[in-house]
Structure 1
Amino acid sequence: MKVGLIFGTRPEAIKMAPIYHKLKENNIETKVILTGQHKEMLDQVLNIFDIKEDYNLNIMKQNQSLSELTSRLIKKLDEIIKNESFDYILVQGDTTSAFVGALVGFYNKVPICHVEAGLRTGDIYSPFPEEANRKLIGSLTQIHFTPTNITKENLEKENYKPKNIIITGNTVIDALKWVKENKKKELKQIEKKYELKNKKYILMTMHRRENIGEPLKNVLRAVKKYLEKKPNIFLLFPMHMNPNVRDIIFEELKDLKNKILTEPAGYLEFISFMDNCEYIMTDSGGVQEEAPTLGKPTLVLRDTTERPEALIGGTAKLIGTSEQKVLEYMYLLEGDMYKEMSTANNPYGDGNASSKILDVIKKDYDEK
C-alpha cells in the first residue's frame, strides 16, 4: 500500500502528524507532499514531529489570488500523483491545498480520504473560502473521517453513505497529548522564557480574513477598556504576520500597558501559552478544539462556527465581534461561567483518532 499525504499549513501538519507516525509505524509506504503555504511555521512542526517531506511545491508568493493558487497547485500536484500511483490520498480540513489535492486525486482515480470531514457553518462565504472547500472535498471523498456525531450528521444530511462516514475524534487531540508527554522539557523552558507562571493573562489570536478591519478594531477596543481597569491581568497576543492585522493591533493597543505582543508563536510555544493562560479569545478553529483538553474557556470571535460541539458542550461561547458583546463576556468570565466552561467535557475525542483512521484504511485496502 502507498499513501500520499497532502498539506501545506501549520494546522494541517499538526493534525496530519499523528497519522504520519501511525502509517510509518505500520511500515506503510508514505509520501509527504508539502504545498508550502506557511514555510517557517510549517518547518517548526515538521521538526517537532520528525516528519520527512518527499515533495515541497513552495507554492506561495505575495498577493497571490485564490484562482492563481488553485491553477498552480493543479499542475504541480498532477505531475506528482501521476508519477506515484497512490492507493490512497489523505487531505485534511478545508484549505485550498486540501481541495485541490482531492480534485487532482479524483482526476487520477485515486481514492480520497478526508480527515476532519463534515464541518459546516451553512454559509458558503463564512469562513471564506474554507466552507466551500470542505463541501467540495466532501463530494470527491471515498472515506470521510469525521470528528464528532454532529459532523457525521452533517454529511448524512448531504446524502453521503453512512458506511463511508467514520467517527474518529480529532487528530489535533492526538498531537496535543503527544507533545505534552514527549516535549515536557521544552514546554518548561518556554514557561521560564516568558515568565508565564508569574503572570495572569488572557491569550488572544485573531487574523481571519473576514475579521480584518472593523471587527478586529471593535474587539481590541473592548479588550483595552477591560484591561485598563485590570492592571494585574495581561493580554498575550501572538500576532499574525499579515501587516493589515499587525497595523491595527499596534494602533489600537499602543497606549495599553499590560500587554505582551509577540511574533507568531511556534507550536510548542502556543501550547505553553494555552496551558498557562486564564482563558482564550480567538477566531481560530483549531484552538477551539485544543482548549478543552487543557481546561481553558474559549470566547470565539466570529459570527458563525463550524465547531458547534464546543458550544453545545459548554467549552466555548460564540460571541461575535461587537465591542459591547466582547466586553460583556469578559466580565461574565469573572463569575460562575468560568468554572462551568473550564470543567466541561472535551467533545473532540480521546486522542486515538489516528489509530482509528489507520485501522479503517487497512481494512478498506484488504477488502479490495
Structure 2
Amino acid sequence: MSLTNKKIMCIVGARPNFIKIAPIMGALNGAVPLTLVHTGQHYDSAMQELFFQQLGIPKPDINLEVGSGNHGWQTGTIMQRFEPIIDENNPSLVLVVGDVNSTIACALVAAKKQIPVAHVEAGLRSFDRSMPEEINRVLTDQLSDFLFTTERSAKENLLQEGIEEKRIHFVGNVMIDSLQNHRLKAIPPIETLKNLNKKILLKELNKNYAVLTLHRPANVDNPLVLRDILLLVQSISEQIPIIFPLHPRTNAALKKNGLLEILEQSLNIIFTPPVGYLEMLGLMDRAKLVLTDSGGIQEETTALGVPCITLRDNTERPITVEEGTNTIVGTNPNQVMVAVHDVLATGGKTGCIPELWDGKAAFRIKEILLN
C-alpha cells in the first residue's frame, strides 16, 4: 500500500508520545497531508504547550480532552471520542507511537474501521504482563499493518507472536532523532534550577549530581514501596546530590501518603515540578548518573553515554543493557547501592550507540510509508 497523496492521522496522548511524534511529523510534513490528534491523556496544558513549543510540534488539529482516569475508563473514553473523528476525517492510515492507553485505544478503533495502523516502537517486550504498558504493546502490534522497530530483538518477539515478517521494519529510534535534533539546544541545569528558585552550589552541577525520575505504578502506588525507595534515595543523596523532577502521579502519591517530608528533610535532594524536554535533556546530559523507572530515559541515557540505573526488575529495551549504559537493579537497596558505588568509583558503563540510532529513523519511516 502506498500512501502517496493520502492522509495520515498521527496520535499523541502523553509526554513520551510528543518526543516520538515530533521527528515523524517533521519528516512527513509536505509529503502527505497530516492530521494531529491529541487524546488529552496527558492533561497538564502548560506542560503540553511547553513540549510542543520546544519540539516544534504544530498545535493539534483535534484534542479529545479525555484527561485522567483508570485504565478501563480512559481507554474506553478515548475510543468513544476517537471513532467519530475517524468517520469525519477518513484517514488513509493511523499512526500511533509507544505504549500508552491512547496507543491501543486509537489503534483498536482504526483496525475495526478497516483503516491501516502503523505502530512506531513495535515489538518491545518486558514479558511482564503486570505492566499495563505491556498489554498495550502486545495488542497494538497485533492490530498493526506497519510495525516499526527500534532494535533487532523486537523483530524476534513479533515473529514469535505470529506477526508476518513483511509487516516488520527495523528503522531505528525516533526518540534519538529528537535527542540529536535538540541536544545543542538543551538548557543547562543551573538555568533550570534558577528558573525554579532552587538553590544549589554551582560547583555541584559540574557533572557531580544524579537525576532521578519515578512514576511506574509498581514503584509509586504502594505507599510502603514508595517510602522505602525514598529512604534509599535519601541514602544515595548523602554521596551525590540528586535532582528529582516530580511526575504528577508521583507528586500526588507523595502528598496523599504524607511522604513529601522525606524529600523536604533531605538537603541533597532537589525536587522540582515537571520540567520541559529541553530542561530534562540538559539535566541528563550533564549528570554523573541517572536513576529511573522510565523506558524512554533508558534509551536517552544510552544515546548520551550517561550511566543509567533502572529501578525495575526488567526492561522492554534490552539493547540499553546489552550495548548501552543501562543496569537493571530493581529496588533492592543492596543492589542499588552496589550499582551507585560502581558508577561513583569507576564512572560506570560507557556502552555504545545501538544500530540505526543515528537520528534518521523518521526518514526511514517516511520512505516505507510513501513507498
What TM-score, normalized by structure 2, do the two folds share?
Answer: 0.89
Q: Which stretch shifts more, 212-221 or 113-122?
A: 212-221
2:59 to 41, 45, 52: 52
Query: Aligned with 2:241: secondary structure?
Result: strand
The alpha-carbon distance between structure 1 residues 186 and 36, as it changes in their structure 2 partners (threshold 3 A), is farther
The alpha-carbon distance between structure 1 residues 20 and 133, as it changes in their structure 2 partners (threshold 3 A), is same
Q: Is the 8 A contact 1:206 1:216 kept in 2?
A: no
**Alignment of structure 1 residues 1-368 onto 2, 5 Å:** 1-26=6-31, 28-39=32-43, 40=45, 41-48=47-54, 49-61=56-68, 64-125=69-130, 127=131, 129-181=132-184, 183=185, 189-190=191-192, 193=195, 198-199=203-204, 200-212=208-220, 213-228=223-238, 230=239, 233-242=240-249, 243-245=252-254, 250-336=260-346, 338-339=347-348, 341-346=349-354, 349-363=357-371
Could you tell me how far 1:188 is from its partner in structure 2?
Answer: 8.5
Q: Is the 8 A contact 2:313 2:328 kept in 1?
A: yes
Could you tell me how far 1:53 is from its partner in structure 2?
Answer: 1.0
What TM-score, normalized by structure 1, do the two folds share?
Answer: 0.90
Could you tell me how far 1:308 is from its partner in structure 2?
Answer: 0.8
Query: Aligned with 2:79: secondary structure?
Result: helix
- Tell me how large the CA RMSD over aligned residues is: 2.1
Distance in 2, matches of 1:283 and 1:3, equals: 32
Q: Which amino acid aligns with 2:235?
A: K
Identity %: 33
What's 1:366 paired with? none
Q: Which amino acid aligns with 2:260?
A: F
Could you tell me how far 1:60 is from its partner in structure 2?
Answer: 0.9
Distance in 2, matches of 1:122 and 1:70, equals: 22
Could you tell me how far 1:347 is from its partner in structure 2?
Answer: 5.5
Distance in 1, matches of 2:352 and 2:201, equals: 24
Q: How many residue pairs align between the two structures?
A: 352
Q: Is the 8 A contact 2:36 2:60 kept in 1?
A: yes
- 1:207-239 CA distance string (max 9 Å, x none): 1111113333222222222333x3xx3110001
Could you tell me how far 1:185 is from its partner in structure 2?
Answer: 7.3
Stretches of structure 1 that go unaligned for 5 or more consecutive residues are: 364-368
Tell me which stretches of 4 or more aligned residues in structure 1 moved more than 4 Å.
Answer: 184-189, 191-197, 246-249
Distance in 2, matches of 1:163 and 1:197, equals: 53
- 1:14-52 CA distance string (max 9 Å, x none): 1011001111142x1000010012233222221221322
Stretches of structure 2 that go unaligned for 5 or more consecutive residues are: 1-5
Distance in 1, matches of 2:259 and 2:209, equals: 17
Could you tell me how far 1:71 is from its partner in structure 2?
Answer: 2.0
Q: Is the 8 A contact 1:118 1:134 kept in 2?
A: yes
Q: Is the 8 A contact 2:75 2:105 kept in 1?
A: yes
Query: Aligned with 1:333: secondary structure?
Result: helix
